Amino acid sequence: MSALLQVEDLRVEFPRGGRAAAAVDGVSFELAAGECLAIVGESGSGKSITCQALMRLVPEPGRIASGRVLFEGEDLLQRSESELRRVRGGEIAMVFQDPSSTLNPVFTVGHQLIDVIRTHWRCSRGKARERAQEVLAQVGFPDPAARMKAYPGELSGGLKQRISIALALACKPRVVICDEATTNLDVSIQAQIVELLRRLKDELGFSIVFITHDIGLTPHIADRILVLYAGHAVEEGPVRQVLDSPGHPYTVGLLHAAPSLSSERGVALPTIPGTVPPLGELPPGAPFVSRCPVAVAGECDTAEPGWTAAGPGHRVACHRFAHDGTKGTTWVR
Amino acid sequence: MGAMSAEAVPAGLVPPASGIAAEQIAKRFAGRGRRGEGGVHAVNDVSLSVAAGEIVGLVGESGCGKSTLSRILIGIETPSSGRVLLDGAPVEGRAGWRALRRRVQYVFQDPYGSLCPTMTIGETLADALAVNDLGGSKAGRRERAGEILSQVGLSPADLDRHPSQFSGGQRQRIGLARALILEPEVVVCDEIVSGLDVSVQAQILNLLRELRQRLGIGLLFISHDLRVVRYLCDRVVVMYLGRIVEEGDVEQVFGDPQHPYTRGLLASVPDHAPGAPELRARVAGEPASLGELPSGCPFAPRCPLAADRCRAEDPALVAAGAQAGAGGHRARCHFAGAPR
Amino acid sequence: MSATTPLAASAGPAGPATASTRRGLLATVRGRLNWQLAVGGSVLALIALIALLAPLIAPFDPNRQDLMMVLTSPGDVHWAGTDGIGRDLLSRLMYGARVSLGVAGLGMLVSIVVGVGAGMLAVFGGKWAERIVLRTIDVQLAFPYILLAVAITSAVKPSFGVLVLLMGLAGWAGAARVVRSVALGERGKDYVRAAEMVGASRVRIARKYVFPSVLPSVLVLAPMQMSAMIVFESTLSFLGMGVRPPTPTWGGIMLEGKDYLADAWWITTLTGLAIFVTALSLMLIGDGLQRITGQRIDAIGGTVESREEKS
């Protein structure tokens, strides 16, 4: 099966102190039709920038320095702005963290939905209205006709996020990018939204890129996971396999630092020493080397590691892993 | 209050000899109407205690009243009814509330907005002492500020730096230092790790455990993240729409949850551990608004177990769980303890 | 705004120093001098120096009439020409700068001091103080300055002091609104809550915590107000409500020059140019400070935007 979306060697730069510093450096990944890929990382990992780059929406003064974003085999980065506008919200849609800033408070839900649909489909108002009601029903509103008349301000955070999802799905996109789409919601509402996305993905067959800082969410929604650190991809693979036998020392640290419902109480949590180096101050060699407890002296601080296979579809960018496997990189307990 | 039977009076609530306790606290906010119509009961009949050396988790979703309760506990809001006890004695009068403010401190969620941008860390910390006429001379206050910074894992050399020069995790440490410098008995931590990256969150959680051990302070740890609460806290209190729906020892509440809301929350926890069950939305819909609480059990409209009795009669908070109330395990549900 | 926030939020390596960098004001200015500030500052400094040294460097006595040289166009002896009764225009402009800058400068100080006081009182003085201050601001802003000036100058003889007072009256309400809106925003922040929680009093919070955050906005506002006051003072003098002749003022020179508009263009033109350059240099300073402190101020409406990034 060929990939629906294929990102190759993406590099996004921001000017820092007169030089260009890479916020995203050499990130590649693929997304198959009907698949959900979770992109996980802490602040500064470049996960949001990566997704903004997919739609060529990198905020000023950043710029996409190199790479290709192939959507159904065509490079989106080479398309004209007007062609790209058709893709954005049409073929590829986004759901953001804060629905209050995505939704326009002065227009009704119906108005905004119809607006989006007519922008992309150039259909009659009546047809657009029909589609709007259909998609509202899909995201779980039992009374779509009544909801059309609601203003965003009248809805709770969870309902607003459902509306944002409806807006994203309105034009039947092939790919939906969710950028921390459940982060600000209460847990019970977050669970509802995750369930909704899971169900809609299976029913409608779109693909999801699910960006999150909460690694705990990944097994509940994603098929595969991509771990980013300081703009570099460090590990990629099927979710369960990465979580159960992580290969990169950073993934190992991340998994153990986050308490789970079965972690042992009363003992200190393992922590990753230090902090993410600021943009543009990444040391040479492996991106994680300055904080890595198992770095190989003379190797990790000079050469950037390549990928090492860790299992079917599972790969790790780490010198230590290349030598010793998970035995070498499981530094926690 | 017909449903309030004798057993609902918190028998287990012996106010701790040192620490803070809330006793049947209620807070009603008047509405906009001329006689205050449309008001809401933000907190309703909540009793809770935090003893020195204890970490109590307060869990609940937005609108459950946990912020209002914490504001009452630190004395910046007064309860409509009920009492706050400090070291077993009721807090009364202006002087009493003033004293409470010093003994119970607060750490904010937002590490960026909670430090004055124009003052150095040293000035912020020393000012807390100066306001309360503590620390003696200017030099003495500075020295104390340096000590407290070392306690939270920063260095006295950081005294002359401004908040903008610190990362989020470091600022949260400074927020803790400001709370600790007045040597409180209890510190209320309001979602203090929710804005932090996981690796930084782990550092702060370790620090909290260490501070409790070293200083013997009590912590009221407010959080929406049940994974963190389970890891850090000794006891947990679950609130829903202004009431306590379940409370008790962490092991018991998490191991054998009695209230359907608690079970729903636990099912919603995104857990990455091997063998963790798939996330499920067991709590349907959204909470009712505080202004128009349903009659009977406030959770009934979202409850998978709700029966006619639930819609008619508000359940009381009663001993529940396998060990029938040992460890103070109590739940506010007609079906608590029933097989499910 | 939306273009800058996502960067701070997601390109995290930007590091801990992104949010609200407000160190010592002087240090901030020294490190980030921009052309607006440099040009505006130099021009204003030059004008101020000329005003200060006018008695030493003015080629003539500004009030000496030379009836042989009436309405001489700019030339070798009188660089800027002479007016209708033969007074040297350059000397008069130099002396006029003393009045204009003095009145506008002191007026600005009065306006800022009163404005800061009123604005802070509105925020920290309790409900009644807030109401009284806000109503007074409204009344002040609703009342046309010129009418006020006419009323006052017809009641008392206009003098330097009266003019300063008038400037203060014209400006304080705007300043108070800016200060109030900034202070109100700061008061809502958690650090103020935190100070309350350690027991700090309202006065202490206003003075020690919030005032330093208000300062950058005041710093931006001050030159902009002064610029408006330069123009305002000239207007008053032009209307005959300024400092009484024979003391030269820019507005007064314009008024006298008005009659000779057809024969002696230089009187009004050069004076107008002096007013324009002075006002412009002050606007440039305000703009330069605005770029440095990240405060956007609409001096007329009294609204403020702070370009503060939150990560």
Q: Which of C4, C9, C15 has its CB closest to that of A278?
A: C15
CB of C213 closer than 8 Å to CB of C253? no
Three-state secondary-structure class, residue C291: helix
Calculate the average pLDDT of chain C.
Answer: 79
Please name the residue ranges forming H helices in chain A. Answer: 47-54, 81-87, 99-102, 109-121, 125-138, 144-147, 157-169, 187-204, 218-221, 239-244, 249-257, 319-324, 326-329
Measure the CA–CA gap between B178 and B159, rounded to whole angstroms. Answer: 12
| CB burial readout B85-110, b (16+ within 10 A) else e | bbeeeebeeeeebeebbbbbbbbbbb
Query: The pTM is what?
Result: 0.81
User: Would an 8 Å CB–CB cutoff place B118 in contact with chain C?
Assistant: yes
Q: Phi then psi for C97, rounded to 5 degrees?
A: -60, -35
Query: Helix-strand-coil percent breakdown of chain A, rounded to 5?
Result: 35, 25, 40
Strand-pairing partners, residue B243, are B240
pLDDT for B32 equals 67
**Annotated domain spans of chain C:** 37-58+78-310
For residues C193-216, average pLDDT: 88
**Annotated domain spans of chain A:** 3-91+173-330, 102-172
pLDDT tens-digit map of B167-221 = 888 899 999 999 999 889 999 999 898 888 888 899 899 999 999 999 999 999 9
pLDDT for B305 equals 87
Please name the residue ranges forming H helices in chain C. Answer: 5-10, 25-31, 35-57, 89-124, 127-142, 145-155, 160-187, 190-197, 202-204, 211-238, 250-257, 265-293
For residues A228-248, average pLDDT: 94
81-110 of B, contacting C, C-beta below 8 A: 98, 101-102, 105-106, 108, 110
Mutate to test the interface with C, among A43, A58, A104, A290 (most CBs of C within 10 A): A43
CA distances from B236 to A33, B18, B202, B328 (A): 44, 19, 20, 10
For residues C72-93, average pLDDT: 78
How many CB atoms neighbour CB A250 within 10 A?
28
CB of C275 closer than 8 Å to CB of C235? no
Strand-pairing partners, residue B29, are B40
pLDDT tens-digit map of B27-56 = 988 776 666 666 788 898 899 999 989 999
Q: How many residues comprise chain B?
A: 340
Which value does ipTM take for this structure?
A: 0.88
Chains that touch A (3 or more CB pairs under 8 A): B, C
Tell me which of C243 and A41 has the higher pLDDT.
Answer: A41
pLDDT for C260 equals 81
CB of B176 closer than 8 Å to CB of B109? no
pLDDT for B318 equals 87
Q: Phi then psi for A19, rounded to 5 degrees?
A: -120, 165
CA distances from B13 to A227, A333, B9, C35 (A): 47, 40, 9, 69
For residues C35-61, average pLDDT: 86
Measure the CA–CA gap between B141 and B128, rounded to whole angstroms. Answer: 9
Are C7 and A52 in contact (CB < 8 Å)? no
Calculate the average pLDDT of chain A.
Answer: 90
Strand-pairing partners, residue A307, are A317
Strand-pairing partners, residue B248, are B236
Tell me which of A18 and C95 has the higher pLDDT.
Answer: C95
pLDDT for C71 equals 72
pLDDT for B6 equals 38
Counts for chain B of helices (H) and strands (E), in that order: 10, 12
Tokens found for residue B167 = 């990362």
| pLDDT surpasses 80 at C77 | no
For residues B111-122, average pLDDT: 88
Three-state secondary-structure class, residue B72: helix
Tokens found for residue C253 = 């020179």
pLDDT for A161 equals 92
Measure the CA–CA gap between C231 and C242, rounded to whole angstroms. Answer: 12
Measure the CA–CA gap between C136 and C145, rounded to whole angstroms. Answer: 14
User: Would an 8 Å CB–CB cutoff place B165 in contact with chain C?
Assistant: yes
Helix (H) or strand (E) holding B143: helix B138-151
Chain CA centroid to CA B110, Å: 16
Measure the CA–CA gap between B274 and A321, rounded to whole angstroms. Answer: 22
CB of C49 closer than 8 Å to CB of C35? no
Chain CA centroid to CA B222, Å: 4
For residue B60, with 0-12 CB atoms within 10 Å meaning exposed, 13-18 middle and 19 or more buried, which class applies?
buried
What's domain A3-91+173-330's architecture?
3-Layer(aba) Sandwich (3.40)
| Cβ contacts of C128-133, under 8 Å, gap ≥ 24 | C133/C176, C133/C180
> To the nearest whole angstrom, how far is the Cα of A40 from the nearest Cα of chain B?
11
Mutate to test the interface with B, among A227, A239, A271 (most CBs of B within 10 A): A271
Helix (H) or strand (E) holding B221: strand B218-223
| pLDDT surpasses 70 at C2 | no
pLDDT tens-digit map of A118-151 = 988 888 999 999 999 999 999 999 899 999 999 9
Residue from C260, C231, C215, C114 nearest C174 by CA: C114
Are C20 and B166 in contact (CB < 8 Å)? no
Q: A270: which chain B residues are within 8 Å (Cβ-Cβ)?
A: 202
pLDDT for A175 equals 94
Three-state secondary-structure class, residue A210: strand
CATH class of residue range C37-58+78-310: mainly alpha
CA distances from B84 to B67, B81, B92 (A): 16, 10, 9
pLDDT tens-digit map of B287-339 = 877 777 778 898 998 888 888 888 888 898 888 877 665 668 899 998 886 65
pLDDT for C30 equals 62
pLDDT tens-digit map of A191-230 = 999 999 999 999 999 999 999 999 999 999 999 999 999 9
Are B170 and C189 in contact (CB < 8 Å)? no
